[in-house]
Amino acid sequence: MSDENFERELRVRKIRNGTVIDHITNGMALKVLKILGICGKEDNIVSIVMHVPSEKIGRKDIVKIEGKELDPQEVDKIALISPSATINIVRDYKIIKKEKVKLPEVIEGFPKCVNPNCITNSGEPVSQRFRVEERAPLLIRCEYCGKLMNSDEILRYI
């Protein structure tokens, strides 16, 4: 085991069953929880580590959610704020699936639209829907009002 791994083990131990979201862009762990709708009321044990040294990306965040296998659709939304994240599904301590997040074509339910006059900001029961217009640099377009949002705006409106 490398020093880095050993250090990591001491911080958060391995989980028996659940999902490990690894290689999260440094500092983005709390936004990841928000995207997944995890607010602290759930019963699952959730571990968050921020600013861990990483050989691949300098520093990174990690989120571990015990007792829950997240499905790819909900997890892929994380690609909007953390394209390097990997999703590890763990069963009985073993990783049975490891995948990089993939940016979906359509994003639903977040972020808030940057346009205050958009129907999704009017109090009507219409939830957000954006289409990915460009991937690098990232641009998404609101399907209701047509407004474009870039990465900075997405981060501010999550």
Provide the binding-site residues for ligand CTP, judged by CB under 6 A: 8, 14-15, 20, 22, 62, 64, 86, 88, 90, 93, 95, 98
CB of 59 to ligand CTP, least distance (A): 14
CB of 99 to Zn ion, least distance (A): 30
Write out the two tokens for 36.
Answer: 């997944």
Cβ proximity to ligand CTP: between 12 and 139 the closer is: 12
Q: Please name the residues in contact with 45: beta carbons below 8 A apart, sequence gap of 6 or more.
A: 15, 65, 66, 67
Lay out the site mask for Zn ion across 93-132 (x = CB under 5 A, - = otherwise): --------------------x-x--x--------------
88 binds, options ligand CTP, Zn ion, none, Cβ within 5 to 8 A by partner type: ligand CTP
CB of 102 to ligand CTP, least distance (A): 15
Alpha carbon dihedral 107, 38, 82, 54, in 10-degree steps, equals -160
15 contacts Zn ion (rule: CB under 5 A): no
Q: Site for Zn ion (CB under 5 A): which residue of 145, 148, 155, 158?
A: 145
Q: Please name the residues in contact with 71: beta carbons below 8 A apart, sequence gap of 6 or more.
A: none
For residue 16, report the phi and psi dihedrals to the nearest 5 degrees: -80, -50
CB neighbour class for 75 (10 Å; exposed up to 12, middle 13-18, buried from 19): buried
